[in-house]
Amino acid sequence: MSDLVVIAFPTEAKAEEVRQKLLAMQKEYLIELGDAVIAVKDANGSIKLNQLINTTAAGAVSGTFWGTLIGLIFLMPLAGAALGAASGTLGGYLADIGIDDKWMKETAAAIQPGTAALFVLVRKVTAEKVLEGLKGEGGKVLKTSLDHTKEAALQAALAGAQAAVPSPS
C-alpha cells in the first residue's frame, strides 16, 4: 500500500532540493516513489504543478513515432506523424498518473503565496535511512496517510531533531 505525504516549504527551490534528494535515495533503493510533484502558489494565488513526468509531451512523442510508422505503411508519413502527434498529445493530456491533479491544487490552496508544497506518493521506504537523509531540511507536514508516530518522526526529522522510528510490526 502506498503512503501520501504533503510537505510545505518556504520556496520552490527548497521543495525541488528535497525532491532531488528523494530521487537520489530512490536510485539507492531506499525509497520507491509513485509520484513526486511540487505545487507552487504565486502572488496572485494561482497554483502551478511541477510534475516529474510531462504526460502531454510524452504522448506527443510516442504518437508521432507510431503515426509516422503507420503513415509509412500507407505511404503518407507526414499525415500519419501529424495525426499521431495530435492523438498522442490528447491521450497524454487526459492521462493522469500518480496523484490526482485536482486534489493537489485544492490542497495547495492552503499554502501561503510564494511558497511551495511537495506531494510525495511513497510505495516502499526504508524509514530510518530516509529520515536520516531528510534530517534538518525544514518544511512542515501538511497532510499524510502515515500513522501518528511515523508522521511525528517525519516532522521531527525535517526539523532536525532526533526521533525514534517505531519498528514495523
Least confident range of 85-89, 118-122, 152-156? 85-89
Query: What pTM value is reported for the model?
Result: 0.69
Place of cell 525544514: 138
Range picked from 87-91, 122-126, 161-165 for highest mean pLDDT: 122-126
* Mean pLDDT, residues 69-76: 65
Answer left, alpha or beta for residue 54, where phi above 0 means left and psi between -120 and 50 means alpha.
beta
pLDDT at residue 30 above 90?
yes
Burial of 46 (0-12, 13-18, 19+ CB in 10 A): exposed
Alpha-carbon span 21 to 42, nearest angstrom? 24
Give the pLDDT confidence score for residue 115 in this predicted structure.
93
